[in-house]
Amino acid sequence: MENAIAISNPAFGRASRGAALDTSFVLFFLAMDAVGAFEGFFDLGFAVSVTTVGAFIALPYFLPFEGERPNFGIWAFGRLNIALVGVLAGWAVQMASGVVFPESIKYLPMTLLIVSGIFCAFSQMRGIIRVRLAR
C-alpha cells in the first residue's frame, strides 16, 4: 500500500465553482430564450437553440479545473435541472407577454442572456490573465 500526502487548498476549487456559477446563469437565460425560438420541432432556429443548450449543459464540465471533479452524471443532472427551470421561466414569460406584461417583455430573456454572457466572459478572462505572485 502506498502512502500519499494530500494537501488541501481551498483556493483550488474556487475558480471552477465560479465558472460553473457563471455558465449556470448563461444556461438559465439561454434556456429561457430557446422557448421564444420555438416555432415547431423541425425549425432550424429551435434545433440550434436546443443544441446550444445541450452544449452548455455538458461542456463546462471540461473547463480547466484544479482539484477533484464531481461525478459527471450528478453534475449534468444539476445542470439539466437549471435548464428545465429556465424553460419553465421562458414559457411563463412568453405566456405573459402581451397579456399581463407589455409585448416587449418577450425580449427580456435575450437581454439578460447577453448581460450574463458578457459577465461570464469577463470573469473567465479575469481568471485566465489575473496576476499571480511567484513563490
Give the pLDDT confidence of 5-23 residue by residue, as tens digits: 444 444 444 445 556 778 8
Number of domains in the chain: 1
Write the CB contacts of 12 (distance below 8 Å, at least 6 apart in sequence): 66, 67
Closest Cα partner for 89 from 105, 73, 103, 102? 105
Task: Let me know if residue 32 belongs to a domain.
Answer: yes
pLDDT for position 91 = 93
pTM for the structure as a whole:
0.75
- pLDDT digits 0-9 by tens, 27-38: 999 999 888 877
Domain membership of residue 63 as a residue range: 14-128
Report, as an integer, the average pLDDT of 106-111: 89
pLDDT band at 126 (very low <50, low <70, confident <90, very high): confident
Look at residue 98 in the predicted model and tell me its pLDDT. 85
